[in-house]
Amino acid sequence: MAYSEKVVDHYNNPRNVGSFPKDTPGVGTGLVGAPECGDVMKLQIKVNVETGLIEDAKFKTFGCGSAIASSSLATEWLKGKSVDEAAKIKNTDIVNELKLPPVKIHCSVLAEDAIKAALADYKTKHSAEPAETT
Amino acid sequence: MAVKFPIFMDAQSTTPADPRVVEAMLPYFTQKYGHPASRNHPFGWEAEAAVDTARGQLATLIGARDPKEIVLTSGGTESINLALKGVADMYREKGNHVVTTVIEQRAGLDVTKRLERQGIEVTYVPVQPDGLIDVEQIAKALTDKTILVSVMFANNEIGTIQDIGAIGKLCKSKGVLFHTDATQAVGKIPVNVETMGIDLLSCTAHLMYGPKGVGALYVRRKGPRVRISPIIDGGGHERGMRSGTLPVPLIVGFGKAAEICREVMPEESARLAKLRDRLQDMILSKVDEAFLNGNPERRLPQNLNISFAYVEGESMLMGLNKECALSSGSACTSSTLEPSYVIAALGASAELAHSSIRFSLHRFNTEEEVEWVGRRTIEVINRLREMSPLYELAKEGVDLKSIQWKAE
Domain ranges for chain B:
7-13+265-396, 19-260
Q: Tell me, what amino acid is at B321? A: N
Q: B350 and A36: CB-CB below 8 Å?
A: yes
Burial A5-14 (b: 16+ CB within 10 A, else e): eebebbbeeb
Rounded mean pLDDT, B58-64: 98
d(CA B357, CA B158): 10
Residue B318 at interface with chain A, using a CB cutoff of 8 Å: yes
**Domain B19-260 - what CATH class?**
alpha beta
Cα–Cα distance, A96 to A108 (Å, whole number): 10
**Interchain CB distance below 8 Å, B390 and A34:** no
Strand spans (E) along B302-355: 303-308, 324-325
Residue B323 forms contact with A (CB below 8 Å)? no
Whether the ω angle into residue B230 lies within 30 degrees of 0, i.e. cis, is no
Report chain A residues whose CB lies below 8 A from the CB of B350.
35-37
Q: Give strand ranges (E) for chain A.
A: 27-34, 39-47, 54-62
| Residues paired with B133 in a beta bridge | none
Which of A19-33, B240-254, B319-333 is least confident?
B319-333
- Predicted TM-score of the model (pTM): 0.93
Average pLDDT (B286-310) is 97
B368-384 residue pLDDT tens: 999 999 999 999 999 99
Name the nearest CA neighbour of B213 among B179, B251, B244. Answer: B251
Q: Do B319 and A17 touch (CB under 8 A)?
A: no
* % of residues, chain B, pLDDT over 70: 97
* Distance (Å, whole) CA B250 – CA A129: 75
Q: List the single residue in B315, B335, B403 with the smallest CB-CB distance to A65.
A: B315
pLDDT value of position B137: 98
What residues in B contact A33, CB-CB < 8 Å?
A: 405-408
User: What Cα–Cα distance (Å) separates residue A22 from each residue in A123, A126, B62, B318, B387?
Assistant: 14, 13, 63, 31, 17
Residue B303 β-bridge partners: B360
Neighbours of B70 (CB within 10 A): 29
Tens-place pLDDT, residues A78-129: 999 999 999 999 999 999 999 999 889 999 999 999 999 999 999 998 875 5
Q: Is B308 exposed, middle or buried (0-12, 13-18, 19+ CB in 10 A)?
A: buried
d(CA B129, nearest CA chain A) in Å = 18
Q: Which of A37, A49, A80, A96 is catalytic?
A: A37
CB A86 within 8 A of CB A96: no
Minimal Cβ distance to A35: which of B319, B351, B387: B351
A64 touches chain B (CB under 8 A): yes
DSSP class per residue in B14-39: --PPPHHHHHHHTHHHHTS---TT--
Of B312, B350, B407, the CB nearest to A64: B312
User: Does A10 reach chain B within 8 Å, measured CB to CB?
Assistant: no
**Closest chain B residue to A18 measured between Cα atoms?**
B387
> What residue of B is the nearest CA neighbor of A40?
B389
Q: Is the pLDDT of residue B276 over 70?
A: yes
Band of residue B333 on the pLDDT scale cut at 50, 70, 90: very low
Q: Is B402 on the interface with A (CB under 8 A)?
A: no
> Which secondary-structure segment (H or E) carries B180?
strand B177-181
- Which uninterrupted H or E stretch holds B166? helix B164-174
Question: Does the pLDDT at position A134 exceed 50?
Answer: no
Distance from CA of A62 to the nearest CA of B (A): 5
pLDDT band at B407 (very low <50, low <70, confident <90, very high): low
Catalytic residue check, B203? no
More reliable by pLDDT, B2 or A79: A79
B388 interaction partners in chain A (CB closer than 8 Å): 60-62
The burial of A37, by beta-carbon neighbours within 10 Å (0-12 exposed, 13-18 middle, 19 or more buried), is given as: middle
**Residue B350, pLDDT score:** 78
CB contact under 8 A, A36 and B349: yes
Integer Cα distance of A63 and A100 in angstroms: 15
All residues of chain B having their beta carbon less than 8 Å from the beta carbon of residue A75 are none
Query: Which residue of A64, A91, A109, A116 is the best one to mutate when testing the B interface, meaning the one whose CB has the most B CBs within 10 A?
Result: A64
Asked if B405 and A65 come within 8 Å (Cβ–Cβ), the reply is no
Average of per-residue pLDDT across A72-76:
97
In chain A the domains, ranked by start, together with CATH numbers, are 5-123 (3.90.1010.10)
Lowest mean pLDDT among A30-39, A54-63, B106-115, B209-218: A30-39
The predicted pLDDT at position A128 comes to 58
Mean predicted lDDT score pLDDT of chain B: 95
**Chain A contact for B339 (CB, 8 A cutoff):** yes
Work out the widest C-alpha separation in chain B, in whole angstroms.
80
Beta bridge partners of A33: A40, B406
Q: Is A41 on the interface with B (CB under 8 A)?
A: yes
Least confident of B137-141, B273-277, B353-357: B353-357
The band of B167, judged by pLDDT with boundaries at 50, 70 and 90, is very high
Contact flag B387-A38 (C-beta cutoff 8 Å) = no
Which of the 8 DSSP states describes residue B334? Answer: G
Catalytic residue among A43, A107, A111, A115: A107
CB A44 within 8 A of CB A117: no
The reply to whether A64 belongs to the active site is no
Intra-chain end-to-end CA distance of chain B, in Å? 49
A100 CB near a chain B CB, below 8 Å? no
Residue A1 has pLDDT above 70, yes or no: no
Judged against a pLDDT cut of 50, whether residue B37 lies above it is answered with: yes
Q: Is the pLDDT of residue A31 over 60?
A: yes
Mean pLDDT of B148-173: 98
Q: Which CATH fold would you assign to the domain B7-13+265-396? A: Aspartate Aminotransferase, domain 1 (3.90.1150)
User: Lowest-pLDDT range, A21-25, B25-29, B156-160, B270-274?
Assistant: A21-25
Q: What is the pLDDT of residue B330?
A: 38
Interface check for A26 against chain B (CB to CB < 8 A): the answer is: no
What's the rounded mean pLDDT across residues B234-238?
Answer: 90
**CB contacts < 8 A (A, B):** 84
pLDDT at B292: 97
Instruction: Return the SS3 of B7.
Output: strand
B337 touches chain A (CB under 8 A): yes
Q: How far apart are CA A63 and CA A13, in angstroms?
A: 16
